[in-house]
Structure 1
Amino acid sequence: MSDLREDIAVLYKGRKGSVDFVDVPPLLFAMVRGQGDPDGPAFAEAVQALFTISYAAHFGLKKRAGLITKVMPLEALWWFDEPGHADPDEPVTAGFGGLSGVDRESWRWQAMMVQPEPIDEALLERAREESRAKELPALDLLHFERWEEGRCAQTLHVGPYADEGATIARLDAVVVEAGLKVRGRHHEIYLGDPRRSAPEKLRTLIRHPVV
């Protein structure tokens, strides 16, 4: 059985120093939204819940239909609320560029993982129930949503997260040169397990929606 990720594989590839434009179709995600330091317990609990339910859903798919798939990478949106901004849920496009000067406890995030077809909400709910014995604090914070990100620019960053600034600036400069502008929230896709990689070997796909 071929990997069910093949049709969206191009969305999860990038080259260091190169910016690619991609069209991201509607995809089903498991998501947890929160606030605070990404090194704090809330984000760690969200990541643990996402990996647990994703593996449970893929195992359930194999058990029920004999289909073998791979769990997709961890992803996250990052932003913060600018003072005076009217709608806290409206994306602040320029927010991430100034995050280094913002108290990390004020960072807002949405950790998430794509659930490729034929995984659906019903299978994910069964996976949630089967995972309750693990007593995961963020399990009930999980929600499932089909989200279309649309036209995006993305590039690969290799190295520590703290060094992403130059990569982000280069990505956004290419967007401007193309006659476009960034919209929406800063999006990171963690290729590999960030919990197990040395900082210098971290591979992060940085994606910005554009219009």
Structure 2
Amino acid sequence: MPTDVRRERADLYRAGPGWDEVVVPPADYLAADGHGDPDSAAYADAVAALYTAAYAVRAAVKRRTGDAFVVGPLEGLWSSADPSAFTEGRRGDWDWTMLIPLPAAVTGEDVADGLTAAAARGTGLPVDRVVPFTLDEGRSLQALHVGPYDDEGPALARLHREVMPARGLTWNGRHHEIYLGDPRRVAPERLRTVLRQPVRPAG
């Protein structure tokens, strides 16, 4: 069976509706940075470049080992100079790093070979912006959001204004989203997104 990060760490890719605590170990990704509205062409091109790179890395692993892996779900790190930009939906103020997770079996050489092959395809996509990235989140709170992305605001407001203060916690990293549904194929009301916030004790 092909390696699948969602099976390797099922506890991190499943969540309930409440804000539960998890400990997230370091993990490797392909990443592309950007700024502004995720409905923009720049965002779409960055995501397309990520997938191009991910499938090229998958091909490099298959050449080396004879086995492929399942390309993981799209994920995103989100931040803003003003955290209210998220609860108020001011998309133009958002900074983002879009991610695709890599299984533990993928080596640095596989990534380098895949990125070189992706760049050589001449797709016109910004593959040169895709880089290897290691994320170490540690203690985090996460919950499952079901519905349109634009409806996440109330859940995040509750996290920031109620859940974290009640537990004596504060931010310890960027807001992280894991997209378990494809918005091109799934109705907005059925989209499933894991919302994650790294935390530490306040003060």
Into which bin does the TM-score normalised by the smaller protein fall?
Answer: 0.7 to 0.9
> Counterparts of 1:161 and 1:119 in 2: how far apart (Å)?
31
Q: Which residue does 2:158 correspond to in 1?
A: 170
Please name the residue that 1:23 is paired with.
Answer: 23
Q: How does 1:105-120 map to 2 (within 5 A)?
A: 105-120=92-107
- In structure 2, the residue matched to 1:49 is 49
- How far apart are 1:189 and its partner, in Å? 0.8
Asked if 2 retains the 8 angstrom alpha-carbon contact of 1:76 and 1:111, the reply is yes
* Alpha-carbon distance in structure 1 between the residues aligned to 2:138 and 2:122: 36
**Structure 2 residue aligned with 1:159, among 147, 156, 163?**
147
What residue identity is the alignment partner of 2:191? L
Alignment partners' CA distance in 2, 1:96 and 1:106: 6
Partner of 2:9: 8
1:71 to 1:180, Cα distance in 2 relative to 1, 3 A? same
In the other structure, the counterpart of 2:128 is 140
- Give TM-score scaled by structure 2 length: 0.87
Cα drift, residue 4 of structure 1: 4.7
CA distance in 1, matches of 2:185, 2:53: 19
Superposed displacement of residue 160, structure 1: 0.7
Match of 1:202 in 2: 191
Return 5+ residue gaps in structure 1 as ranges.
83-93
Match runs of 1:78-157 below 5 Å: 78-82=78-82, 94-100=83-89, 102=90, 104-131=91-118, 132-157=120-145
Identity %: 40
Letter in 2 for 1:26: P
Q: What's the RMSD between the two structures over aligned residues?
A: 2.0
Asked if structure 1 preserves the Cα contact closer than 8 Å seen for 2:141 and 2:196, the reply is yes
Mark the runs of 5 or more structure 2 residues left unpaired by the alignment.
none
Match of 1:69 in 2: 69
Contact 1:4–1:117 (Cα < 8 Å) also in 2: no
Number of matched pairs: 197
1:24 Cα shift? 1.2
- Where do 4+ consecutive residues of structure 1 move more than 6 Å? none
